[in-house]
């Protein structure tokens, strides 16, 4: 593999923080989801709201963890991960949504993304490597523990492969048929970016996704927001022990 890119800066420019942060961050696209989970966890507080990045802290008797929004797409998420890692965070667990197209995946299912694939040159990673791209895989220890914790909580998780796209409104059933034939189960916009930057920077990461919509040819089934919010609360509660390993 080509040598990792040398980081040009060592202080965050975008997230509005400069203090040391806990080892683990739960990251998600929607700032409202961060606010919801901070309230749900109890003992949570917002540290910063800047440029769409809402960053909070959850504290309990076991320790503390970051909750942060990364916005939509790989480039926005890469900035968050880079800057949180500058402040000491080394483990990133994405709590996101995904659109499924595999026949054995249903609405509301929990997918633990063991690996991801992408079209070369996309997901904000093109300048991070030369000819050999980084591996796009979850930290195996985190994935194994997450599967066990989610199963213990009665959430019946599935180990999955995720296709990652930068072009939400350009995606088509033709593309999904191709990536499904390659073994992928669903699509999101950030998992490949998370796994790529983690490999390059020596971070631990995992993407755990709630199936928010099912894509079948020209038709689509979309889950409403209220049951999805309840599912995220259960997923977060189940996975919180990962922050304190």
CA atoms within 13 A on the CB side of 120: 5
**Is residue 160 situated within a structural domain?**
yes
Separation between Cα atoms, residue 39 and residue 21, nearest integer Å: 19
Whole-structure pTM value: 0.93
Structural domain total, the chain = 1
Q: How far apart are CA 117 and CA 138, in angstroms?
A: 12
**Helix, strand or coil, per DSSP, at residue 83:** helix
Question: Does 131 map to a domain?
Answer: yes
User: Would residue 182 count as lying in a domain?
Assistant: yes
Residue 50: domain span: 24-244
3-state secondary structure 113-155: EEEEEECCCCCCCHHHCCCCCCCCECCHHHHHHHHHHHHHCCC
Q: Is position 51 within any domain? A: yes
Residue 218 has a pLDDT of 67
Residue 122 lies in a domain: yes
Q: In this structure, is residue 146 part of a structural domain?
A: yes
Percent of the chain with pLDDT over 90: 71
pLDDT along the chain (245 residues), means of 10: 54 92 97 96 91 94 94 96 96 96 90 94 87 92 98 97 90 84 92 97 97 82 88 97 92
Instruction: State the Cα–Cα distance between residues 145 and 19, nearest whole angstrom.
Output: 29
* Residue 2 pLDDT: 46
CATH of the domain at 65: 3.40.50.1580
Is residue 127 in a domain?
Answer: yes
Q: Are 20 and 95 in contact (CB under 8 A)?
A: no
237: in domain = yes
CB 85 within 8 A of CB 24: no
Q: What is the pLDDT of residue 47?
A: 96
């Amino acid at each position: 593999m080509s040598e990792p890119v040398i980081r040009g800066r060592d202080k965050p420019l975008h997230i509005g923080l400069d203090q040391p942060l806990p080892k683990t961050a739960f990251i998600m696209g929607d700032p409202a989801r961060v606010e919801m989970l901070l309230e749900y966890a109890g003992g949570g507080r917002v540290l910063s709201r800047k440029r769409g990045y809402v960053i909070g802290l959850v504290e309990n008797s076991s320790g503390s963890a970051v909750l942060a929004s990364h916005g939509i797409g790989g480039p926005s998420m890469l900035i968050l991960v880079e800057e949180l890692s500058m402040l000491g965070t080394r483990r990133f667990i994405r709590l996101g949504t995904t659109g499924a197209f595999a026949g054995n995946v249903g609405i509301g299912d929990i997918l633990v993304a063991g690996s991801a694939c992408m079209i070369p040159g996309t997901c904000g990673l093109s300048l991070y490597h030369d000819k050999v791209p980084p591996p796009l895989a979850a930290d195996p220890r985190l994935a194994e523990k997450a599967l066990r914790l989610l199963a213990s909580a009665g959430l019946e998780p599935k180990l999955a492969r995720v296709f990652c796209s930068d072009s939400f409104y350009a995606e088509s059933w033709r593309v999904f048929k191709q990536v499904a034939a390659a073994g992928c189960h669903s699509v999101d916009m950030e998992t490949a970016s998370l796994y790529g930057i983690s490999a390059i920077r020596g971070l631990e990461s995992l993407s755990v996704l709630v199936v928010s919509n099912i894509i079948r040819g020209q038709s689509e089934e979309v889950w409403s927001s209220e049951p999805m919010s309840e599912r995220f609360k259960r997923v977060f509660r189940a996975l919180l022990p990962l922050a304190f390993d």
